[in-house]
Amino acid sequence: MSGNKSFILRDRIIRNSNLSPMSRKILLTLEEPSLINNQADVDKVKRTLERELDAPVNICLAKMNIISSKCRSGHWKVTVTVGKKNTGWDVIDVEDGHVETPLYGLAVDVGTTTAVVYLVDLTTGDIVEAEADYNLQSTLGEDILTRIYIAGAERGLHRLQDAVLQTLNGLQRELCKRNGIDAQKIAAAALAGNTTMIHLLLGLNPANICMAPYTPVVNDPGLLTAQEVGLNINTAAPVYCLPGIGSYVGGDAVAGVLVSGMHKKDGIGLLVDIGTNGEMIMGNQDWLVACAGAAGPALEGGVAEAGMRAEPGAVEQVTIDSGGSVSYKVIGGKQARGICGSGLVDCLAQMFLAGIIDRAGKFKKGDYYTVVQAAESATDKDIVVTQRDINNLMRTKGAVSAALELLLESVGCTLEDLSSFYAAGAFGQFLNLESAITIGMYPDLPRERMFRLGNSAGEGARLALVSEAKRMELEQIKSRVTYIELNANEVFMNKFVSSKFLPHTNLNYFPTVKANMARHGLITE
């Protein structure tokens, strides 16, 4: 695991033969009615589908005339598209004749900052194309707490819902256009997001998410329809929201567990997803525990003095050599406009190893560090990291590290017991592993046990879309996880304080960092 290339666990992809997608086409050849057998058209289609699917099939009134007329125009050959319901199936489209064109679904990662829509061919399980865009909600409020606050204002929730729907429908339109697909042929969608994002997308009141006892309106909305949700695809298409565990461990984290496979392994796995919240799930085939803490938005664009999103112009990698001179890499190779989250983590690690800041994260001299000189920057100003930026980042890493210790203690394990570490989420995908370990945000494990999951939210959504078994696994993971509430947890607060050192008060937890510090002359071994 090195470099910033996303690594999706491709061996988990389900191939054609194992597909059981949320929507599917069924080609029917029906007996032509006669005086001997004049069963009603809809009854005949329903019974035939029920035999085929071995499950109840629902046909809404609006489809009945269509079925009758397509049966006749297709000379008793029809192609019926059925979509999964909470119980049984729904007829969502009827075509005359046997129409073997592909059927599509959308796998959606509803991120706080970025939404990614994958156009999936439901007949092969493959991704046709993906498209990402900023979640338009960002223009209303940058972080989750701000959005929950806005949702409480008049029409605030409605505006937030509209914004994200506009984002998703825009991405869908673009994908359909580029691939020449009629939106009506998109017959299913699976959405993964944190609990607040799912609430805002569905127009559900998020107020209780951030107030004790942190009770969401819903964690497991089940199968809804595109019409209910407001997605511009086949109105009757089933829409599945990946189930969340609680206010701060959402369907995106559950997707991470699914994609990692830790819930089916013997050895203990640890999944960490750092964003606005630090979400963490630990366990194996026998048990799963989770916790989350407001990691703080230190890593999100706009919070640090020179912070920005990971987009062209952002410093994403920083190196400070032994002579103290800094070099950096800018996304898109342009002049730098600011620093994104991964650049910030790199910078902190490098400043620490270069002896510019001490173990408490304080500048030894002055109160900022210049990463990019004004002369080189696109803004004609120095791009700097300030003491305040570092303090924010220290809180984030402290929260993550404290949560990990608490989880380990609560199940009576130590770091040595971890067989696998999975970095999930957008930051997990792009963060420099060594930097994250150096600042004590990730545990210092043998590197061969550490994996990036790539966009596990999107991949989890895709798996739910194409496999009933994977959807069942998601529900099982959701119900198996024991959630440990960190808010108002005293043990956590104590650990949080001791975690606010680089990499940790106890250096023995970080053997490779300790060795590196010695190499840099920061300590004597």
Among 18, 65, 101, 179, binds a second copy (CB under 8 A): 65
| Beta carbon of residue 221, minimum distance to a second copy (angstroms, whole number) | 7
Q: Counting contacts by CB under 8 A, is residue 40 touching a second copy?
A: yes
Site string for a second copy, 310-349 (x = CB under 8 A): ----------------------------------------
Residue closer to a second copy (CB basis): 35 or 375:
35
**Residue linked to tokens 């930051």:** 427
Residue 203, CA distances (Å) to 45, 195, 215, 383, 426 in order = 36, 12, 16, 39, 25
| Beta carbon of residue 41, minimum distance to a second copy (angstroms, whole number) | 6
Among 2, 11, 139, 212, binds a second copy (CB under 8 A): 212
Among 1, 62, 472, 493, binds a second copy (CB under 8 A): 62
Among 213, 302, 332, 511, binds a second copy (CB under 8 A): 213
Contact region for a second copy (CB under 8 A) — 30-38, 177-185, 409-417, 462-470?
A: 30-38
Residue closer to a second copy (CB basis): 18 or 215:
215
Residue closer to a second copy (CB basis): 213 or 267:
213
Site string for a second copy, 165-194 (x = CB under 8 A): ------------------------------
Q: What SS3 class is residue 278?
A: strand
Question: Scanning residues 221 to 260, which ones bind a second copy (CB under 8 A)?
Answer: 221-222, 224, 228-229, 246-247
Q: Mind giving me the DSSP string for 369-428?
A: EEEE-GGGSTTSS-EEEEHHHHHHHHHHHHHHHHHHHHHHHHTT--GGGEEEEEEEHHHH
Q: Counting contacts by CB under 8 A, is residue 154 touching a second copy?
A: no
Among 38, 139, 325, 508, binds a second copy (CB under 8 A): 38
Among 2, 10, 61, 139, binds a second copy (CB under 8 A): 61
Q: Counting contacts by CB under 8 A, is residue 152 touching a second copy?
A: no
Closest C-alpha among 369, 308, 363 to residue 340? 308
**H helix runs in 40-155, sequence order:** 41-53, 61-73, 144-151
Residue 225, CA distances (Å) to 87, 92, 222, 237, 463 in order = 13, 10, 10, 5, 19
CA distance 40 to 52: 18
| Beta carbon of residue 40, minimum distance to a second copy (angstroms, whole number) | 4
Among 6, 20, 58, 124, binds a second copy (CB under 8 A): 58
Query: Which residues, 6+ apart, have CB-to-CB distance to 379 below 8 Å?
Result: 337, 338
Among 2, 17, 86, 322, binds a second copy (CB under 8 A): 86
Residue closer to a second copy (CB basis): 175 or 188:
188
CA distance 46 to 403: 52
Residue closer to a second copy (CB basis): 95 or 346:
95
Q: Counting contacts by CB under 8 A, is residue 508 touching a second copy?
A: no
Residue 102, amino acid: P
CB burial of 58-71 (b: ≥16 within 10 Å; e: otherwise) equals ebeeebbebbeebb
Give how many residues touch a second copy by CB under 8 A. 49
| Beta carbon of residue 246, minimum distance to a second copy (angstroms, whole number) | 6
**Residue linked to tokens 């990291």:** 385
Q: Could you check whether the bond before residue 503 is cis, i.e. omega within 30 degrees of 0?
A: yes
| Beta carbon of residue 224, minimum distance to a second copy (angstroms, whole number) | 5
Site string for a second copy, 448-487 (x = CB under 8 A): -----------------------------------x-x-x
CA distance 332 to 84: 42
Q: Counting contacts by CB under 8 A, is residue 219 touching a second copy?
A: yes
Long-range Cβ contacts of 233-236 (<8 Å, 24+ apart): 233/106, 233/172, 233/183, 233/184, 233/186, 233/187, 233/189, 234/81, 234/83, 234/92, 234/93, 234/183, 234/184, 234/185, 234/186, 234/187, 236/60, 236/83, 236/90, 236/91, 236/92, 236/93
- Judged by the rule CB under 8 A, the positions of this chain that interact with a second copy are 33-35, 38-43, 56, 58-62, 64-65, 67-69, 85-88, 202-205, 208, 212-222, 224, 228-229, 246-247, 483, 485, 487-488
